[in-house]
Structure 1
Amino acid sequence: MSVDVESKQRKGMDRFLNGVERLGNKLPEPFTLFTALFLITAVACTIMAWFNVVVDVPGTDEPTPIKGFFTGEGLAWFTSNIGENYIGFPPLKTVVPILLAIAIAEQTGFLSAMIRKVVGSAPGWLLPYAVGFIGVAGSIMADSAFVVIPPLAMIAFKAAGRHPVAGLIGGFAAAGAGYSTNFVPTSLDALFAGITNSVITTVPMIEQNADPINPVSNYFFNLASAFVLAILAGFIIDKVVEPQVNRLGISRDEIKEPTGLTEELDAIVDEGEDTGIYAQRGTGVEQSREVEDHKLTDIEKKGLRRAFLVLGILAVVVIAAILVPASPWRNEDGGFLPKSPLLDSIVFLVFTVFAVGGYVYGKKTGAITGYRDVPKLMGGGIVGMTSFLVLAFVLGNFIALFNWSGIGSWIAVEGAELLERMHLSGFGAIVLFIVLCSILNLFIISGSGMWAIMAAVFVPMFGLLGYEPSFIQGAFRVGDSATQIITPMNPYMIVFLGFLRRYEPKAGMGTIISRMLPFVIPFWIAWTVILFIFFQFDLPMGPGNGIMMDIP
């Protein structure tokens, strides 16, 4: 291919993505956008309630009526639950504790030192692929991956002399678009398996002939998908995203906006400098943000060794605590899947790694003089997440209304029934099913919630056509992940936007969508092709789980 042709193709892609960005950025600011969506949903559900619209949610005994917001019941619900809708917003309990811990690790210099240690001996060309693998594997941390991986990738890229925004984008894309697969079984696999088993019994023919479903029923498919998507993510980061970011002239350094929040953060940093928190050269806020100097100092090396030693001891303690037969972190059956106190402790474990590691490192290097410095460091983290806390208020109430009114279930069920009425069979029907899942994923990002609805309709429907439930479950995974990184319904897009605005202060939802599109379409196509290969060659989806049922 000639240089002129390649140049024209790059320009054409840039024009397309820039057009998407401009169109998307015509959307209001997130707070205004979700306020508008709240009002639109409120009006829509009220009109549907006036017309007595009901939805037959599979698994329920009676039709569920759509509830109207502008009714006595709706207004009473809202006024009684406005605070609970906000405080109960799921990402709060994940994001806030982790960001508080990351604030300690970042502002003491622990994060930057750790990343520079890792990348110091690794070739720069390998970084994008490392981010791809770490991102795809991140779902083992559940939603914590959206908070932890992007900023770590950002710091790693900057430490290696590459564009930090490329790492940030790649980390979020790999963690989100590949969320439903992994190299190892996760709690999501157990959750999906439980839902699938619950609907198999509704059709005796399927119950009698289908292979048993368990947390590893999609493992072979997941393993193949994880490797391919991780490599693909690295390729896109390296060959598409970073070149585009460089062509757009996006700053490699954080851009401080003259806002009240910046002034507050500066005040906290100044106070920390006065008290000796950031006194040690090579640590602290400035060093964690300006990591061009890759070489670790002797004191940084000692700090890392001390931190890793303490974290290693803690890991041994945790493993011992969960392995004992009577461990309180086991479930009632003595295991850990599908649910257990251990899996519910993921946020605590991530918090401990960053908080303890950062504190021990800071004490050794002199970045922390005593425990009294911890609340000051956390205070810096709170200032940095203020915009998220504000947006979470309107977003939490919007999602609560979306669920309470029943509109979310109505959209999912109507979409599923539309595909069912088309009476399609063969892999073409599977592709349409994936398309439907991808579209619904723009509105319902809870994978388990959407699978609970979709499985009740499509597992029996495709089962009557001879398909194994495990295969349909695998097809659902494809549609459940790829598009969730371009929907404003994803609450973690707000967190990502906060990081992105460090380098692009004017970035908006359109900016995120345009940056993520290079991942969405290739991921969707590659994942579907992998599924087709399993289908075409009748490869097992997991141990003891095939494609088609052996029906007598």
Structure 2
Amino acid sequence: MDRVLGAIEYVGNKLPEPFTLFLILFLITAVISTVLASMGAEVQIPGEEETVKIKGFFTGEGLTWFTTNLGPNYLGFPPLVTVLTIMLGVGVAERSGMLSALIRKLFGSANRAVLPYAVGIIGVTASVMADAAFVVIPPLAAMVFKAAGRHPVAGLLGGFAAVGAGYSTALVPTSLDALFAGITNAVMQTLPNLDATEVNPVSNYYFNIVASLVLGVIAGFITDKVLEPRMHKLDVPQEIADGDNVDTDADGNPISAQLTKEENRGLVFTGIAMVVVTAIILFAVLLPDSPWRNEEGGFLPKSPLLQSIVFIVFTYFLTMGVVYGAVVGSIKGVKDVVDMMTSAMGDLLGFLVLAFILGNFIALFNWSGIGTFSAVKGAEFLESTGITGFGAILAFIILASLLNLLVISGSAMWTLMAAVFVPMFALIGFEPSFTQAAFRVGDSATQIITPLNPYIIVILTLLRRYEPKAGLGTLMSRLVVFVIPFWTAWAILLFIWYTFDLPLGPGSSIFLG
């Protein structure tokens, strides 16, 4: 195992960081487009009369396109519109202390028998906190396990596995849903005349709800029946080796599963506020002549209500954060809310820089015709091999799982894969939202066993408080038991949706047409 993991680490370390990787891909696409354009390459989209001619980047037309559209390519990158807006609300909910208090409340209310399953479901859904979930959930899980008389290391590793292996899904819409949807819609511009449904942050919501519950239960079962017994069998210590306080995270910051009176009061008022917001939204959209209905008087497949999903998610998170913060005192005025939003934007600086090259890469892919060319030729190849059904989707999932060992950034990997596979699978009959759901399966389980995951070091630091001599191989050998069950469960769920043509979310189906 150590040799395999060492090989993965070696290869992964040879890869450039995401910005450089996409800069290289941009230049490669520029060169290929120029060569194909000089050869007069063109492609005909099935069902279309006109052919698409490849346009070269290193031509007068290409260079002027680039110099006049550098900024618009960046600012027009669709995920910026959705992710930045939602993160303003999530930032207030997180920094006011509401999200942390809610998670601690849910942990503390679970009894000993169901505790692993609570850790599993909460851990999977904790992706609403983005990367902060990797730091918050594992030490809290260890603490509540110990308080319940169970092995804290099982809670620690089980919590990390739930967060990491189920990171691509949640019981509630998250900024990741908005990010994926924006990228998916951007690459579908390759085939603008295709009758595909526009993807939004809730296009995979039904699938996500079921997946979150199933994966949460599986995480709990493995933690309860496999991981914890193994901890006892290996005689893994249940006390901190150096006598340090268990109620701290990897950075030594204090944590507690018990809520104060004010925190409980804050959650109560937050719950009341949510009921009020929900009632207002329902009243507004359920009126017979509601302006949020479509021209036929309904909500599907497209309506102002579905186009308002970003607003609704933002409103919920902002309301929860402001109400909770006002009750517990973490928010005393508008300035505090603005400071929390500013801090949340600070956390996205890395994404904002990466989005510059991602947006320009996708724009070049679409403008040059390389995206259309790749999609049509790829679809033709799949048809020639006879792999056009779920087998093609399964091969795509396997590829995503392998790439996930080397490319940890979900936005970077989805940009890379979506540029080719979303339009390609659309040409053989799959809705873009279904391809996006398939990517979620691949972009999940394997990230907890790659040394390139930066939070592997965090969890290893926490583990060494119990086992000072624990190494990367020690950690991987205990986390690998989650990978195959998670991956298999994901794939089976997707196959069920595929077989019975179930809606993935509101107005979102499996097949085109």
- The alignment's TM-score, normalised by the length of structure 1, stands at 0.62
**Corresponding residue for 1:482?**
441
Give, in whole Å, the separation in 1 of the partners of 2:306 and 2:24: 36
Judge conservation of contact 2:123–2:160 (CA < 8 Å) in 1.
no
1:160 and 2:141 correspond? yes
Q: Deviations over 1:94-116 (max 9, x none)?
A: 22122222222222211111111
CA distance in 2, matches of 1:474, 1:78: 30
| Aligned partners of 1:254 and 1:502 also within 8 Å | yes
Q: Give me the whole-angstrom Cα distance separating, in 1, the residues matched to 2:308 and 2:380.
A: 38
**Bigger Cα displacement from structure 2, 382-391 vs 432-441:** 432-441
Residues 477 and 498 (structure 1), Cα distance of their counterparts in 2 relative to 1, 3 Å cut: closer
Aligned match of 2:168: 176
2:69 paired with 1:81: yes
Alignment-derived partner of residue 291 in structure 2: 328
Structure 1 counterpart SS, 2:142: coil
CA contact (8 A) 2:358 2:415 kept: no
Aligned to 1:7: none
Match of 1:403 in 2: 366
1:454 is matched with: 425
Aligned counterpart in structure 2 of residue 127 of structure 1, from 118, 121, 130: 118
Equivalent residue, structure 2, for 1:211: none
Paired with 2:219 and 2:427, the residues of 1 have a C-alpha distance of: 33
Could you state the TM-score of these two structures normalised by the residue count of structure 2?
0.66
Q: Decide which of 76, 88, 92 is 1:100's aligned counterpart.
A: 88
User: Following the alignment from structure 2 to structure 1, what is the Cα–Cα distance between the partners of residues 458 and 74?
Assistant: 26
Distance 1:504 1:230, change over 3 A: closer
The number of residues matched between the two structures is: 421
Distance 1:530 1:355, change over 3 A: closer
Aligned partner letter, 1:74: G
The equivalent position to 1:58 in structure 2, one of 40, 46, 71, is: 46
In 2, the alpha carbon distance for the partners of 1:340 and 1:16 equals 50
Aligned equivalents of 1:384, 1:220: Cα separation in 2 = 29
User: Which residue matches 2:395?
Assistant: 435
- Higher deviation after alignment, 433-442 or 324-333: 433-442
**Structure 1 unaligned runs (5+)?**
1-11, 136-145, 180-187, 193-197, 201-217, 256-288, 460-471, 489-495, 506-513, 544-552
Query: In 1, distance between residues paired with 2:434 and 2:91?
Result: 39
Q: CA RMSD for the aligned pairs?
A: 4.9
Corresponding residue to 1:24 among 3, 8, 12? 12
- What residue is the counterpart of 1:118 in the other structure? 106
Query: Do the aligned partners of residues 457 and 347 (structure 1) sit closer, same or farther apart at CA in structure 2, a change above 3 Å counting?
Result: closer
1:393 aligns with 2:384: no
The alignment partner of 2:15 has SS state of coil
Structure 1 residue 82: Cα displacement: 1.2
Does the CA contact (< 8 Å) of 1:116 and 1:160 recur in 2? no
Distance across 1 between alignment mates of 2:364 and 2:48:
20
Where does residue 40 of structure 1 map in the other structure?
A: 28
**d(CA) in 1 for partners of 2:38, 2:414:** 23
1:392: how far off? 1.2
Post-superposition Cα deviations, 1:162-186, rounded to whole Å, max 9, x if no partner, equal 677975664464353899xxxxxxx
Give the CA deviation at 1:60. 2.5
Partner of 1:69, secondary structure, is coil
**Is residue 301 of structure 1 aligned with residue 264 of structure 2?**
yes
Instruction: State how far apart, in whole Å, the 2-side matches of 1:407 and 1:518 are.
Output: 41
Q: 1:219 to 1:173 in 2, by over 3 A?
A: closer
**CA spacing shift, 1:542–1:384, aligned 2, 3 Å:** closer
Q: Secondary structure at the match of 2:8?
A: helix
Distance (whole Å) between structure 2 residues aligned to residue 327 and residue 30 of structure 1: 45
Report the secondary structure of 2:14's partner residue.
Answer: coil
Instruction: Tell me how far 1:28 sits from its aligned partner.
Output: 1.3
| 56 and 479 in structure 1: CA distance in 2 versus 1, 3 angstrom threshold | farther
Helix, strand or coil for the counterpart of 1:330?
coil
Q: 1:422 to 1:122 in 2, by over 3 A?
A: same
Cα distance 1:58–1:236, how it changes in 2: closer, same or farther (>3 A)?
farther
Three-state SS of the structure 2 residue aligned to 1:129 is: helix
Shift of 1:297: 0.8
